[in-house]
Amino acid sequence: MSSAFVAAPSSVFTVTSSNFGREGAVVGAGITQEISRSAKLFLDYDGTLVGGFDQHAFSAGCRPKFWGEGGRARIHRHRYPRTVIR
């Protein structure tokens, strides 16, 4: 496959990749659990299955959210709704 960047259409380059053929599959699945308003746990699986070649990858972790909508720090109001941190 020959391609070029929009900003430099005269600079053509070629991309080569492996051919998986007809009897292969690339699969993936994942689950995410929200543990609080500012954090989620995740577990993902990715696999490539082609003839005699199998590749498997698992990943897990926590995705924290430090900022609220609009780029501002989120203010948590718990027991006393009139108390606001500014």
pLDDT in tens, 46-83: 999 888 889 999 999 998 887 655 555 555 555 555 54
Residue 38: DSSP 8-state: T
Q: Residues 27-56, buried b or exposed e (16+ Cβ, 10 A)?
A: eeeeeeeeeeeeeeeeeeeeeeebeeeeee
| C-alpha torsion sign, points 75, 80, 84, 85 | negative
What pTM was estimated for this model as a whole?
Answer: 0.52
pLDDT of residue 84: 47
Mean pLDDT over 33-57 rounds to: 91
**What CA–CA distance (Å, rounded) separates 82 from 84?**
6
